[in-house]
Structure 1
Amino acid sequence: MTMDTPAAPWLDSHVPDTLAEAWTNLRAQGRRSALALLGILIGTASIIAMLNSGHMAQRESLKLFAKLGIDMLQIQAVPAGDAPVALSRTAIAALPVVDPEVLEVIALATGRATARAGAASADLAIFAPAPALARMVGLVAARGRMLGAAEDCALSVVLGADAARALSGPAAAVGPGSVLLLGGYGFTVVGVLAPVRPETLDPVNYNMAAMIPPGCARRVIPGGGPNALLVRLQPGADSKAAGARISARLTPREGTLTVLDAQSILATMQAQKAVHSRMLIAIGAVSLLVGGVGVMNVMLMSVMERQREIGLRAATGASPGALRLLFLTEAVLLSMAGGIAGSLLGAGISYAIASGSGWDFDLAPWTLALGPVVAGGMGLVFGLYPAISAARLNPIDALRAD
């Protein structure tokens, strides 16, 4: 505002007039305002990017348990020596009866074997599951069909998508009707699974596996009995305690059990991400603090350069409160402009992080509002001293300033 500006807007102290004048003064300072805004922008962008990255990382963590959910346990029997180990079928069947927190138990035998189809061969995970496994984990046949209930000991096999591709030759694709050798036995391929997204609690990589009927497990898997379990618990159940109880009931004399607990795994992953996020947010907060100091410096310089203007305003009726309001508004506007730009930049950085990590981009809307709010708060804090300094200037001395 020029020195001959009439006093009426100051006497009225209308908010729109104050905002418009504050913005005009900031634009007049040009490069100095831009440099102060830069510090706020960098700090806000860092915080917004880290908050959104943590938000997306959390969603990606939950996807690792999308099929099975987080109320799940995976239990694997580990042999003490070279002899295979199997779990008691009777004890497994009794689990939902004796433990009220157990909803469902699916047993399966797992192992590895080399599969051959013509001249092609591949090392595959072999699993012989209870029929309910396909329903629980969402296994469906992309070609052919799934194993039927009557195929308890038929030499039939369903291949994972990657396994079928690995066994296919240049001129002969492996699919329904193909014959492959597993453990010295000829198995007929009855189906090929649709691709499955791997999850933490999957007992095998279904994409690179062969599924055979439970009755045929002894022919391919040493021991043949169930050596792995998927246990679904009641929602909200204490998974650690449930895992300990189940281990106590099922641990074989010739081996041990390992228990993977979805809730504990997820909590550990989120705790690690929270530590990293807090560290990076702290770095962003330091940048924001430096930007706030820059805003204060700009406003103090502005007060020094505009002493005659301040004296004229005071002499024509502007109250100390009106002067404080003007300079405080300039500080808040400058900071909020940096906050808005920083929020947009932070969202762009979040998108780049998601693209580089192969994540789905999912912006938390509240973070976009957080940037201007936090930056505005910084402007309020760091603009208060310059505003008070301007209001305390003696009008006579200010009018005499060069």
Structure 2
Amino acid sequence: MLTTPEDRRGTRRGAPGAAPGRRRGTRLSPVRLSPRDVIRVGGAGLRSRPLRVFLSALGIAIGIAAMLGVVGISASSQEVLNRTLSALGTNLLKVSPGQTMFGEGSHLPAEAEGMIGQINPVTSVSATGAVDAKVYRNDHIPEGQTGSISVLAARLDLIKDVGVSLAGGAWLNEATHRYPAVVLGSKAADRLGVVEAGAEQRVWLGGQWFTVVGVLAPAPLAPELDTAALVGWPVAEERLGFDGYPTTVYTRAKEEHVVAVRDTLAATANPENPNEVEVSRPSEVLAAKQATDATLNALLLGLGGVALLVGGVGVANTMVISVLERRAEIGLRRSLGATRGQIRLQFLAESLLLSAIGGVGGVMLGIGVTAAYATSQGWPAIVPIWAMAGGVVATLVIGGIAGFYPAVRAARMSPTEALATS
């Protein structure tokens, strides 16, 4: 059959006489995998090796849980302290003697309280003074066994100024502060074995018997009172040889003027030697504790990071073995038209899914550990959102890094090589 040039051109152009099928000289573009397809294919690979996947995910989960638990427990404890300070007030300033320029101990003037009270924004002033006396449960205890309990002379308005309450009994008053009566701090009462105050409760203090009239509750803003035995100022001077110099002056000021008052306290308390006066604020103690916690957190977060790295090595190991075991699958998919990019994407998706499982499990485990510990301590359970999000992101980064090499290795396999070695 003869054909004209026009007929031949029509055939090449796909005219009615052209043969069915794809045009000669053209290629079909590979089908693109949707995100859903990628997740389904990656999940199928993980389901085929459940035990290995579980162990690898567990390694990541432990690392994330360790980091989240550290952050959560620290945040919960700091929230308790913040709430305590907010309830008791952060406008309390403490004035105490420092050291002379020669490194010797100094003392505050006896008039320090009165002079501080003249500062206009100051709302209240109280003081304690260290007494050179020892306190024991009875007069048969050896002198060396003091239990680290200090004896302090106290003003009558001390507990009101500091913001501490009584766990039992009564505070010193006009009727008792001139007589051998003592109020014990919370820890001091425990060390002396005093369960409750009363006329029958006595301790051996300064070589004589003192009646325990009260026991203080813990004092968050003045922890030095927890380990103290507090007696009246007059009886300390008359019976215990107290010199009358205050060793700590507690000052309350109007909240908006706390900084200004603090700047003038040293010169007011000791005009002759203001450099020998130390002024502190209880909230600074909290700041110091938070700084200490931050250092400890950094150490523990480092340990959590090591655990996370070990989990990442587990993911990499799982994926490398998966590539070696699934050569036949890789070769078959390549033979059916899967591109190297699709193979690479499949194994990278498996790695990310595996890491995500470990990350989410670690976040849940960390929240559980934090909640359990905080509840046992009576704290509010707080886990920062940034810590949870950071944990999941960290696992995905680790998973992406750990799965990159196995994914590239799988993509580089030619169909013939993969099928021949399967």
**What is the CA–CA distance in structure 2 between the aligned matches of 1:304 and 1:166, rounded to whole Å?**
67
1:91 paired to 2:94: no
Corresponding position of 1:175: 198
Count how many residue pairs are aligned between Structure 1 and Structure 2. Answer: 379
Corresponding position of 2:53: 33
The alignment partner of 2:225 has SS state of coil
Code of the aligned partner of 1:209: A
The alignment partner of 1:75 has SS state of strand
Q: 1:139 aligns with which of 154, 165, 172?
A: 165
Render the CA deviation track for 1:32-57: whole Å, top value 9, x for unaligned.
43453344234323322332343345
Corresponding position of 2:225: 204
Q: 1:192 aligns with which of 205, 214, 217?
A: 214
Equivalent runs, 1:130-279 vs 2, <5 Å: 130-131=156-157, 133-134=159-160, 136-140=162-166, 142-143=168-169, 145-147=170-172, 151=175, 155=179, 157=181, 159-160=183-184, 175=198, 191-193=213-215, 195-199=216-220, 201-205=222-226, 208-212=228-232, 218-220=237-239, 222-224=242-244, 226-233=246-253, 235=255, 243=262, 245-251=264-270, 256-279=276-299
Q: Report the Cα offset of residue 332 of structure 1.
A: 1.0
**What is the CA–CA distance in structure 2 between the aligned matches of 1:59 and 1:169, rounded to whole Å?**
32
Aligned-residue sequence identity (percent) comes to: 28
Relative to 1, partners in 2 of residues 1:61 and 1:48: Cα closer, same or farther, differing over 3 Å? Answer: same
Render the CA deviation track for 1:163-202: whole Å, top value 9, x for unaligned.
67888999xx85159788977999777x524x41243634
**What is the CA–CA distance in structure 2 between the aligned matches of 1:118 and 1:313, rounded to whole Å?**
88
Contact 2:93–2:262 at 8 Å: present in 1 too? yes
Corresponding position of 1:3: none
Contact 1:43–1:284 at 8 Å: present in 2 too? yes
Render the CA deviation track for 1:83-102: whole Å, top value 9, x for unaligned.
9962434312113x2xx5x5
Contact 2:85–2:221 at 8 Å: present in 1 too? yes
Relative to 1, partners in 2 of residues 1:165 and 1:352: Cα closer, same or farther, differing over 3 Å? Answer: closer
Contact 2:164–2:218 at 8 Å: present in 1 too? no
If the length of structure 2 is used for normalisation, what is the TM-score? 0.68
Code of the aligned partner of 1:159: V
1:46 paired to 2:46: no
1:331 paired to 2:364: no
Relative to 1, partners in 2 of residues 1:120 and 1:204: Cα closer, same or farther, differing over 3 Å? Answer: farther
Contact 2:172–2:183 at 8 Å: present in 1 too? no
The alignment partner of 2:154 has SS state of strand
The alignment partner of 1:199 has SS state of coil
**What is the CA–CA distance in structure 2 between the aligned matches of 1:330 and 1:116, rounded to whole Å?**
69
**What is the CA–CA distance in structure 2 between the aligned matches of 1:92 and 1:233, rounded to whole Å?**
11
Contact 1:87–1:227 at 8 Å: present in 2 too? no
Contact 2:97–2:108 at 8 Å: present in 1 too? no
Render the CA deviation track for 1:297-356: whole Å, top value 9, x for unaligned.
432332343233234334445455543432222101111222233334545665787799
The alignment partner of 1:36 has SS state of helix
- Structure 1: stretches of 5+ with no match in the other structure: 1-9
**What is the CA–CA distance in structure 1 between the aligned matches of 2:398 and 2:65, rounded to whole Å?**
15
Render the CA deviation track for 1:359-380: whole Å, top value 9, x for unaligned.
8473415344543332123212
Q: Report the Cα offset of residue 64 of structure 1.
A: 7.9
Could you say which structure has the larger radius of gyration? 2
Contact 1:70–1:263 at 8 Å: present in 2 too? yes
Q: Report the Cα offset of residue 281 of structure 1.
A: 1.8
Equivalent runs, 1:348-363 vs 2, <5 Å: 360=379, 362-363=381-382
Relative to 1, partners in 2 of residues 1:142 and 1:355: Cα closer, same or farther, differing over 3 Å? Answer: same
